[in-house]
A and B are shown apart, each in its own frame.
Chain A
Amino acid sequence: MSQEQRTLHGHPFFHDLEPRHLALVAGCAHEVSFSAGDYLAREGHPADHFFLLLSGGVRMETSAPPLGVLGILSAGAGEVLGFNWIYPPYKWSFDYRATVDTRAFQMDGRCLRGEFAQDHELGYQLMTRFSAVLGRNLDATHLQILELIHEHGTR
């Protein structure tokens, strides 16, 4: 197992992935680093990849006039960022900005989609993982909406 595969295996998102699949995803991965303030992705730009955070911190942001720039989610080591590479039109829905120096694996979405076409089991494994993350995010969003309703409904 290469050093890259070992690091990928150490990330919670891939920790129980079979070695043969790990080798395939490692072929679509490269390590990147960002300084505090750097953007990992910009809203509306092509989304050809996602990130597995290894260290540091990233904030999902958007411009929401008249409130200005609003952070709506923060993420740190062990988390996965970016889903827009999975489905058309493959564009980032939000900005992602490093709040501190950050290291991550940048996973090439086009490369992975190509691997999925050859190996449906790999596609299933990754989509199962992404579904779990998306499901948790959706649950969290619903809870936040309910808190808003609770706060305003009792006024």
Chain B
Amino acid sequence: MVITKKRREIEGIHTFWLEPRDGGEFHFDPGQFNMLYVFGAGEVPISISGDPGKPGRLVHTVRAVGKATQRLCALKTGESLGVRGPFGSAWPMAQLEGKNIVFVTSGLGLAPLRPAVYWLLNHRQRYGKATLIYGARNPRRLLYVDELRKWRGRFDLRVELAVGSADPTWDGNIGVVTSLVSKTFVEPGNTVALICSSERMMRAMVEQLNQAGLNDGDIYLSLERSIKCGLGLCGHCQLGPTFICKDGPVYRYDQVKGLLAQREL
């Protein structure tokens, strides 16, 4: 695919808009990922972060972490990269119709969740109340700031932000994102949470959601492991009996609860 647009989100993190050279469409479900191949540098699994309602443009937000992602982030508009996918399970948006949805995420975790937010907004009348709870280290580390501003202006999506520290120009919450779960009214019974963050932070998020009255079966999360093949063959991403590239990355929490806190499997 060819890069038709590139934007620096924050230091070390870039968003790429990709289009097939033949002008075709790329259909995916929210939460799925692609294997992106940078010629001569290798292949990496990256969540799709664009709007599933706009299959003409594939969007990925990438953090420069290792050799392949650093090369990827150095690519410019007009250059090409290989795309294999989409792979993996998805946020079960169709199953969740009629429910209140609360998205809880921090840092780059918003990227895999963003397609689910788009989906909800594209089919807004099918869902109950919607809340996005998002945290970052400081205001400069918030992703998709223009979009967050637009979403905050809507009457049908509540957006709550928290940062770890801020100068006096920031008039929002300061603290860890999990504290917002207890401060934000979450209506148990008909509410489902979709969460994405580092694994330890997600365990803390689950604890707060449980205290708010959500059961483990009402919580979905996206896991990250070393994914290599994307097909469930190589075993790099194996977590106990499950392969994250094939059975995940999205799981219902009660399906993986026993696997997450274990040091050795």
Contacts and interface: CB of A to CB of B under 8 A. Distances in A.
A8 B137 CA distance: 35
Nearest to A64: B165
Interface residues of B, number: 26
> In the complex, which range does the number of interface residues on chain A fall in?
20 to 34
A149 to B, nearest CB: 9
B200 interface: yes
B258 interface: no
Contact of A71 (B107, B137, B165, B204): B165
B105 interface: no
Contact of B198 (A71, A73, A147): A147
B137 A148 contact: yes
A155 B12 contact: yes
B175 interface: yes
Interface string B156-183: 0000000011111011111110110001
A146 B106 CA distance: 13
A139 interface: yes
Contacts of B183: 76
Given A139-B204, A144-B164, A154-B65, A72 B176 contact: no
Interface in A133-155: 139-141, 143-144, 146-148, 150-151, 154-155
Nearest to A37: B168
B174 A71 contact: yes
Contact of A140 (B12, B106, B179, B200): B179
B174 A72 contact: yes
A67 B168 CA distance: 11
B171 A99 contact: yes
A143 B165 contact: no
Contacts of A141: 176
B201 interface: yes
Nearest to B200: A146
B107 A147 contact: yes
B174 A150 contact: no
A99 B198 CA distance: 31
Contacts of B64: 155
Interface string B200-239: 1100100000000000000000000000000000000000
B185 to A, nearest CB: 13
A66 B164 CA distance: 18
A68 interface: yes
A138 B9 CA distance: 31
Interface in A100-126: none
Given A59-B174, A74-B173, A154-B65, A147 B165 contact: no
B201 A72 contact: no
B104 to A, nearest CB: 13
A127 interface: no
Contacts of A73: 174-175
A135 to B, nearest CB: 13
A70 interface: yes
Interface string B31-69: 000000000000000000000000000000001110000
Contacts of B166: 70-71
A146 B168 contact: no
Contact of A72 (B107, B165, B168, B172): B165
Contact of A70 (B167, B171, B179): B167
Contacts of B165: 70-72
B176 A143 contact: yes
Contacts of A74: 172-175
A69 interface: yes
Given A70-B166, A71-B165, A143 B174 contact: no
Interface of B: 12, 63-65, 106-107, 137, 164-168, 170-176, 178-179, 183, 198, 200-201, 204
5 contacts: A99-B171, A150-B198, A150-B200, A154-B65, A155-B64
